[in-house]
Amino acid sequence: MKPSEHPLGHTAIHRILLIQLGDIGDVVLSFPCIQALRENFPAARIVVAVREKAGGLLEECPWISESISVGHPPKGILAWFNYQFEFFSRLRRHRFDLAVDLRTGTRGAVMALLSGAPLRISRFAYDGGLWRNRVFTHLAAPDLQPGQAISDYYLKILTESGLHTRHAVPKIAVSSRKLATAGELLRQHGLPRGQPFIVLQPFSLWHYKELPPTTVTALIRAIERDFHLPMVLAGGPEDRSRAEALRHACPEARLVNLAGKTTLSDYAALLKMSGLFIGIDSAGLHLAAAVGVPTVGIFGPSSMDAWAPRGKQHVVVHKDMDCIPCSQKGCNSSGISRCMEELSVGEITTRVWPHIEKFISGLPG
């Protein structure tokens, strides 16, 4: 594309700030946006700002020049002011030409404005009030279209400004160094290199997306009974005690509890080494798909069209109920989702077993 054909003008853009202050899964689904910026501005310096907990995802991203981890400001007026002053002073020293905010919150809008970038792109926010939308020089259409994937929804912010990409599916590269680290961790927990295994992540930051522990226990026992495959329990540090409880509840299964024992980049490598991911709508599901691993996503109130990985190697399981997806935080915002509570092990295994059998059929010997 020639500079004259480009709405933003290639020649004036040498330094770019991309802001994604969502959860870990949101950052995974934003990788096509990073790649689009690199494709459209191959010589530009691209800096990506994410929340601290998601910073590990960018450790080995080949399309960025630098990442910025955005933490919580300290308490106290003086400490808060000093933190903000130092943060935005460092930000402005980059002398950005373009700032892109992928969300509609106020924090990202403030970052875009105070970055000093003359060009600022985001999405129109219905609750933008008197100032938020006016911060930006270019605003994309606000609504998620029926059947539209969230990765495409983020990417549309760029495409509406003429920034296109040939790579719309999130992909994350894993280095040989990280694979070696993950392999050593597995070996320390009794899984030798080359041993096929399944990653199971039944935990989420949002408990209304989770299956009851009794259902997870029954699923683990069924996998052990029918396939005798080792399983790795994954999650964050806050999930470690619950993962341990599952391990103790299934002594007959070969379960390895690695919840809270990996960094994000190490977890990506662990997933890459596995043969199959089974889990609920969570960051792990998106990360597994992004590193190229077949997945089984168990969905409740969340939109499968929006959040489930795309492709023949990915399967979705859900309860057959007229009310889903409702996108509520539990039924009537109660924090408890009937569609997850009432989903039986039989309904899960009907969809999961062919996926496991396909995995096993591809194993050597």
pLDDT the model gives residue 362: 75
Give the CATH number for residue 263: 3.40.50.2000
Q: For the CA atoms of 262, 263, 264, 266, what is the dihedral angle to 10 degrees?
A: -60
55 within domain boundaries? yes
Show the domain range for 349.
177-361
Taking the chain, what is the end-to-end CA distance rounded to the nearest angstrom?
50
235, pLDDT greater than 80:
yes
Q: How far is CA 202 from the centre of its chain?
A: 15
227 shares a domain with 346? yes
pLDDT the model gives residue 120: 96
185 within domain boundaries? yes
Mean per-residue pLDDT over the chain, rounded: 93
253 shares a domain with 107? no
| pLDDT tens-digit series, residues 50-102 | 999 999 999 999 999 999 999 998 999 999 999 999 999 999 999 999 999 99
Burial class (CB in 10 A: 0-12, 13-18, 19+), 282: buried
Last residue of a domain, one of 130, 159, 188: 159
pLDDT the model gives residue 261: 95
pLDDT the model gives residue 1: 37
117 shares a domain with 260? no
Contact 323, 330 (CB under 8 A): no
| pLDDT tens-digit series, residues 176-228 | 999 999 999 999 999 998 889 999 999 998 999 999 999 999 999 999 999 99
170 within domain boundaries? no
351 shares a domain with 238? yes
| pLDDT tens-digit series, residues 280-299 | 999 999 999 999 999 999 99
195 shares a domain with 142? no
- What 3-state DSSP class applies to 298? strand
Phi-psi region of 235 (alpha: psi -120 to 50; beta: other; left: phi over 0): left
Closest CA to 68 of 88, 41, 85: 88
333 within domain boundaries? yes
305 shares a domain with 218? yes
Q: What is the mean pLDDT of residues 231-239?
A: 96
127, pLDDT greater than 80:
yes
347 shares a domain with 206? yes
93 shares a domain with 25? yes
364, pLDDT greater than 70:
no
Task: Report cis status (omega within 30 of 0) of the bond before 325.
Answer: yes
- Total domains, the chain: 2
12, pLDDT greater than 90:
no
pTM tops 0.85 = yes
**pLDDT higher for 6 or 303?**
303
199 shares a domain with 155? no
